[in-house]
Structure 1
């Protein structure tokens, strides 16, 4: 684990990210808050590309809680069976749809606690929805962010909660809204798990990773 980088270095890192990609976007396809919740819940232990392939057909016929309930669990399974853990995920999609109808008037709530009360929605999923749909500076720490945060010194931590706190504590406020998208994309395409592409990295000179590739 690298040591926490000082504020001026982190400011420079995110300035570079911002110049390179002023408006980074999440890669999960969605049309409204409900489809975003479902897409993120389905994405656990699955790739965004794989989820998008499955949800294009699903969301074409069920883009509201009511339509999802009408489709039923078996109907959902037919669309998402290419995704890992699809049976359990389909069950949760139906349960969260029912809870949205029964307790939230079919409206996706904008608080973390309420989102986490939905079946299949954990803290990471809630943070993604809060950030992408509601514009909150919430940080969803996935494996890419965890790896990048610890390798580089941007946000080191022993677990995802510690990395989330480090992002909130050390990344300047003007970069908080897009921070997790910049970090996810950099971890997904440049600072990859095996053989990171250090020669193509725009923050190579600021990163503390000791085993940089040539």
Structure 2
């Protein structure tokens, strides 16, 4: 059975960076599951010329391949909004369930980050982390990320997008974003990335030791 690290939390809390660093540190495979929904959302709006059709989104999700996660433009605000919308569709989530669970079976150990990994995708994960930060701090991080790519949305717009995404993710009927009862909370509001990764690594090292894999 694979050693699974499930990292959940809201947008721009740092879970993706922590996931990548942890995977590199321990030699695990890493899947940013948010990219699945971004890839589906982008393809759906491209086909619909800006409009997302539920049926089209489901077909795109069923036909998704790993190569689709490498397409350009997946980190834009427009695609983030589309991802949040398609993520609320039960048919899309169901279509992507096997993709994620198949990845979680990789024998070398895996890290998956998203919003329902510890609650739905891998409820038996060896380690569950819920990574969060204040909405304001997450908006500052996202704005800096977009600025580095040449985009210049106002802080107010980015903050509104962050809060809207949080509300949609937490309120959706199918697999809402919630902290698993056995997940460890990691608040990164006041942490730099090195400290956050170190804290996560310590938790994982303890779990590996208990599992006899240290």
TM bucket normalised to smaller: under 0.3
> Over alpha carbons, which structure has the higher Rg?
1
Q: Which structure shows the higher helix fraction?
A: 1
TM-score (norm: length of structure 2): 0.26
TM-score (norm: length of structure 1): 0.26
Q: Which structure shows the higher strand fraction?
A: 2
Bigger RCO of structures 1 and 2 (CA < 8 A, at least 6 apart): 2
